[in-house]
Amino acid sequence: MASAADPTGSLATALAHAQRLLNRDPAMAVEQVREILKVVPGHAPALRLLGEAFAVTGESASAIDALRAATARAPGDAEGWRLLSEQLLLAGDSRGADAAVAAMLKAATASPQLIEAALALAENRLAVAEARLRTRLEAQPTDVAALRMLAEVAGRLGRYPDSERLLVHALELAPGFTAARSNLAQVLHRQGKPAEALAELDRLDLGDPRNPAHRTLRAAVLARIGDTQASLDLYAAVLQEFPRQPKAWMSYGHALKTVGRVADSIAAYRTAIAQLPSLGEAWWSLANLKTLRFTPSDIAAMHAELQRDTIALEDRYHLHFALGKALEDAADYAASFEHYVQGNALRRTELRYDAVEVSAHLQRSRALFTPEFFAARTGGGSPARDPIFIVGLPRSGSTLLEQILSSHSAVEGTSELPDIIAIAGRLGGRPGPGTPSRYPDSLATLDAAALAALGEEYLERTRIQRHSDRPYFIDKMPNNFQHIGLIQLILPNAKIIDARRHPLGCGFSGFKQHFARGQGFTYDLGDIGRYYRDYVALLAHFDAALPGRIHRVFYEDMVADPETTIRALLAYCELPFEAACLSFHSNDRAVRTPSAEQVRQPIYTAGVEHWQHYAAMLGPLRHTLGSVLDSYPALPPDIRNR
């Protein structure tokens, strides 16, 4: 290279030329960079480019040497460390690759944009964090630290498919990025992909088999798929070895509750609270047992935590929900309602629920799923009869129905399975902001073979949840009422049961219940009323389009005359009557919903009218329910004639 009046400019030009050669003629790029290094020996960007060029030509050893030299000269170059980790991994040096990833993360997080994004994440300013991270990734698209942080933003917003995609990309760039793999396992678990989550945990265990966080996540996944004893054993082992883990104690409490070990569950929740008194979810977990009554000292302790300015938003709204239940049990209904209102308002700030969008989606379903549409597709789908779907709104008595049916010798109870929703989400594509989903309209393009394949896919996805040889199993995801058209097309022989409850009883019960995820409409009384009306309208439409296809059980009828209701339910399911279904409370199966303890007791009538203590406070719910409330259980003309 000849000297020039502007050596810096000449160097930049030469490097840019070598970079262009990298894609067209990598061998020539190697020669160009070598010429640069003769003029400026030890120049870090040139060494990094040399390493890239050697990597492209397949000379891994030379690439590693060049990249080691580059990172030694410029330890703050995150991209250099990433390239080195990739080459070391290809060379079989996984330990060296992990060390390079650690150095890369240290270098990457020195970025002012990442520091600002991290602070915004810590303060839950998600819009600010997202903006900073996207700016960073526009400039450095391979910055795996930024990808992982953006995945966390997506996860907090409930955009789990986006979070999964970002984490998978980060791991493609840096397979040894353990923190990203741990996050991916968590995101897969939250999406109801237990097999995939367990596979990622298996990979994590290879490098760190005693890691308590990974082991407790595995225990949670095992609990989700009904492998309850293995889950309990793992929680117990981890907590014996690492006892100072309040959130793990709380999760252990959840698992104990599932199998009916209530006293042990309470002890686990109390241990979590003793270790971390501000852990709002542990307080709410005690309340969510439905059978526990808080002491005055408990109530005082929760009030004291709420007075602290430093507790997290999540802890704050959980404490409000728990205090709402505590004061409800104490018959202080006005104070109880105020805590429910505050808890719901805080939780609502975290969600992007759009009632108008939901209504529009259900209207599109009514437009598509006509009697003619179904008639034209007769004979499609999988012929399997295994699934029994229980749909409706949460807190409508669906867990009670599941407990009754799973007491039959031919029926296995599972849980609220996410698989129909996952299939629907995939059929809708990945629309951008403001772009409507292609679902359910995309169903019109599927032929009989495609519909049958989707039915078989559902059966395969849910197989991990089945632990007996009983011929039928229950999927009690309430939100599946939105997907009855899909169920009819892909599983035309499956049974569908609509669990329905008085709109004020069901609506208020949902309002005072904090759901971990998936029920964004329950945090505002007006949203609840609109959602209930939309649900009633959609089910009325399917009753007309598919006469007799759906069996409806009114909660109030179940309470008033259990035997008649249960006999009719079994007849619809084409099951012979068994007396065990009448003594469902004796069934010791694991129950993974908030109603677990309630369904282990005989049917009682007290809950039917409990909402009346709050009747004067439910104005927004009454207003949006309108004629649906006035006509219940019948359908009002404005719904029936839609």
Q: Quote the CA–CA distance of 129 and 332 in Å, as a whole number.
A: 41
**pLDDT score of 211 more than 60:** yes
pLDDT range class, residue 156, cuts 50, 70, 90: confident
Q: Are 161 and 425 in contact (CB under 8 A)?
A: yes
Q: What is the pLDDT of residue 107?
A: 75
pLDDT of residue 131: 93
Of residues 593 and 421, more confidence is placed in 421
Buried b / exposed e along 428-450 (16+ C-beta atoms within 10 A): beeeeeeeebebbeebeebeeee
579-590 confidence digits (pLDDT tens): 999 887 765 545
Q: Kindly state the greatest CA–CA separation across the chain.
A: 98
pLDDT value at residue 441: 95
Q: What is the pLDDT of residues 272-328, one digit of tens each?
A: 999 999 999 999 999 999 889 999 999 999 999 999 998 989 999 999 999 999 999
Q: For residues 395 and 504, is the Cβ–Cβ distance under 8 A?
A: no
Structural domains of the chain sorted by starting position, each given as residue range(s) with its CATH number in brackets: 7-108 (1.25.40.10), 355-640 (3.40.50.300)
Residue owning tokens 């109030």: 556
Q: Within its chain, how far is the Cα of 567 from the centroid?
A: 36
Residue 604 has pLDDT above 90, yes or no: no
Q: Summarize pLDDT for 59-107 with one digit per residue, the tens.
A: 878 989 999 999 999 888 877 887 887 787 666 676 677 678 777 777 7
- The pLDDT value given to residue 61: 84
How confident is residue 4, by pLDDT bands cut at 50, 70 and 90? very low
224-235: burial string, b at 16+ Cβ within 10 Å, e else: bbbbbeebbebb
User: Which residue bears the tokens 């009323």?
Assistant: 529
pLDDT(127) > 70: yes
CA distances in angstroms from 170 to 15, 47, 138, 298, 585, listed in the order given: 27, 24, 15, 45, 48
Of all residues in the chain, what percent carry a pLDDT higher than 70? 91
358-373, pLDDT tens digit by residue?
999 999 999 999 999 9
Mean pLDDT of 396-407: 92
Rounded Cα distance between 379 and 452, Å, is 10
Q: State the Cα–Cα distance between residues 599 and 283, nearest whole angstrom.
A: 22
**How far apart are alpha carbons 102 and 122 in whole angstroms?**
21
Average pLDDT over residues 501-511: 95
User: What does the alpha-carbon distance between residue 431 and residue 450 come to, in Å, rounded to a whole number?
Assistant: 22
The pLDDT score that the predictor gives to residue 140 is: 87
For the stretch 235-251, pLDDT in tens is 999 999 888 889 899 99
Reported as a single tens digit per residue, the pLDDT across 508-553 is 999 999 997 779 999 999 999 999 999 999 999 999 999 999 999 9
Query: What's the mean pLDDT when you consider all of the chain?
Result: 88
Q: What is the dihedral of CA 539, 540, 546, 551, to 10 degrees?
A: 60
- Do residues 419 and 462 lie in contact, with contact meaning Cβ atoms separated by under 8 Å? yes
- Tell me the pLDDT band of 424, cut-offs 50, 70 and 90: very high
Average pLDDT over residues 141-155: 90
Q: What is the pLDDT of residue 116?
A: 83
Asked if residues 40 and 11 have their Cβ atoms less than 8 Å apart, the reply is yes
Dihedral (Cα; 603, 605, 608, 613), 10-degree rounding = -140
